Structure formats: structure tokens, C-alpha cells
Structure 1
């Protein structure tokens, strides 16, 4: 199957990739626009430190998208931050490869 089918990517999100901490707080890269599928459902996820955090939105996009934890993402006019980003790569199996991103 390869990549997630384009007909499923019905939404548009703007991603400002997290680049690290600067002297005045977090620093973000240049904003890029990605096609995505947005699921606005509250669920419990674990952050990078293992703490349980409530995610309000899950975004599914193409596997090649760059969206590390801490990135700023704008969805439907609302800006959120990435709790965790998970690569779903089937390694050649007939699965829809994609990036799953949990937002605060």
C-alpha cells in the first residue's frame, strides 16, 4: 500500500518545527503547510518523559513530514503543541505508512 492515501488527507495544518530552546524560550523553524487527516477526540497519551497527558487532537499526515515533539501546529485556526509524534511505517508491508501526531 505504501503511503497514506491522498484522498484521506482532507485537512490542512501549519507546522512550525521545534528547533530547541533559545535564550528567550522555545525556538521554531519556518512554518510549512501539510495535508492531513485531523481527529478531534480527547485521549490519554504519554509524553517524552512518560507522564500521562491529555491530547485533544490527533493528526495523521504523510510519513515524510517533519513534526518533532514540541512543534507548534495550527489546526482549524487553533494553535497547539505536539506532545508526541509516532512514525507508523509498515516496512514494506501493505499498510498505510504515516506520521501520527498527538496535540495538546
Structure 2
């Protein structure tokens, strides 16, 4: 039985600065974590952000199920571009032979 997405499928490496919230001086981010295995795909998809606005996602990322990357986090993609996480979804299917993972949509 598969419990998490196999590492051999996560061919890209990304860096994440987790969003911690807003302060009087703007958004706050945690320390950057580099070299995170992921699978990155270019997309053009309209989604709803946490505030309910319609936005266009330009990247989809699949990573391990324990990735700490809340919406608002800064992500450095394999091509060097910096993106912002719009949504984060943890996919699980207990008892089924499908991998658990975290899916991010980014702008």
C-alpha cells in the first residue's frame, strides 16, 4: 500500500518561506527552507483565493503530505521565479492504494 507520494516522482526542487501572518510592517514569513522535493507544472487555472476573489493560478505543485506552506507563503520555483501560494490542499485516502500529498496552487 502506498502511504505518500514516492520521492522519485518529485523531480524538482523548490524553496518555501512559510507565511506567518501580517504585522504592522507587512507580511511576515518564516525562515526559508530550500531543496524541497516537488513536482511543478505550469497551469493557467482560475481559482478562488482565501479572501473569496477569483485569481489565476500559474503553477501547480505536488509535494510530500507534511509540507508546511500555508496560503500566502513565498515559493521559489525551479526556474528561479518567485510565486505566492494561493491554496494548499492535503490529499489523503486512508486505506486506499493512492499516495498522500500536498497540492499547492500558486500565482
Q: Which position in structure 2 is the counterpart of 1:30?
A: 31
Give the TM-score taking structure 2 as reference length.
0.93
**Where does the alignment leave 5 or more consecutive residues of structure 2 unmatched?**
none
Cα deviation, 1:13-65, whole Å, max 9, x if unaligned, reads: 00000001011100000011210000111111111123221000000000001
Q: Which position in structure 2 is the counterpart of 1:94?
A: 97
User: Shift of residue 91 of structure 1?
Assistant: 2.1
Give the TM-score taking structure 1 as reference length.
0.95
**Partner Cα separation in structure 1 for residue 54 and residue 98 of structure 2:** 28
**Partner Cα separation in structure 1 for residue 65 and residue 10 of structure 2:** 12
Q: Which position in structure 2 is the counterpart of 1:58?
A: 60
Q: RMSD of the TM alignment (CA)? A: 0.9
**Where does the alignment leave 5 or more consecutive residues of structure 1 unmatched?**
none
**Partner Cα separation in structure 2 for residue 85 and residue 52 of structure 1:** 16
**Partner Cα separation in structure 2 for residue 93 and residue 16 of structure 1:** 32
Q: Which runs of 4+ in 1 moved over 2 A?
A: none
**Partner Cα separation in structure 2 for residue 26 and residue 67 of structure 1:** 14
Q: How many residues align?
A: 104
- Which of 66, 71, 78 is matched with 1:69 structurally? 71
